[in-house]
Amino acid sequence: MFELSVESSFAAAHRLRNYQGKCEAMHGHNWRVVVSVAAPALDDRGLAMDFHDLKAVLTQALEPLDHTCLNDIEPFTNLNPSSENIARFLYGRLRDLLAPQPVRLQKVAVWESDSSCAAYYEQAGA
């Protein structure tokens, strides 16, 4: 099995609902997103997927979040825009965008700071 990862970022503000602390107030992050995909085989070029193509898919997935207030966009108008929920939201977008590719989405990790990250993945076959 081969695994590839690419990284990108977006800037957005949010506020956590029902949170007792500073993060309940509006604040922003330069979010970093790392996406990992897996492939059981390589193509005739010796690639699982072109990094450029994978990065383009990630850029497309992040576009609706960049320079927004996450609380103002679906699904975060009702869903708390936590790092965990952002990772799950991006996983769903990326899974759909990657469907025509010969790779399987493994994991989406969302970093809200240099030391804090949440990741989302699904069990194979689930």
Q: Where are the alpha helices (DSSP H) in 1-126?
A: 51-62, 83-98
Tokens 């492939």 correspond to 39
Active-site pick, 23, 24, 63, 84? 23
Q: Which two tokens stand for residue 72?
A: 């103002």
Contact indicator for 104, 122 with CB cutoff of 8 Å: no
d(CA 84, CA 93): 15
Based on the residue annotation, tell me whether 14 is a catalytic residue of this protein: no
Based on the residue annotation, tell me whether 23 is a catalytic residue of this protein: yes
Active-site pick, 7, 24, 63, 67? 67
Based on the residue annotation, tell me whether 112 is a catalytic residue of this protein: yes
Contact indicator for 32, 111 with CB cutoff of 8 Å: yes
* Contacting residues for 22 by C-beta, under 8 A, at least 6 apart: none
> What positions carry a catalytic annotation?
23, 67, 112
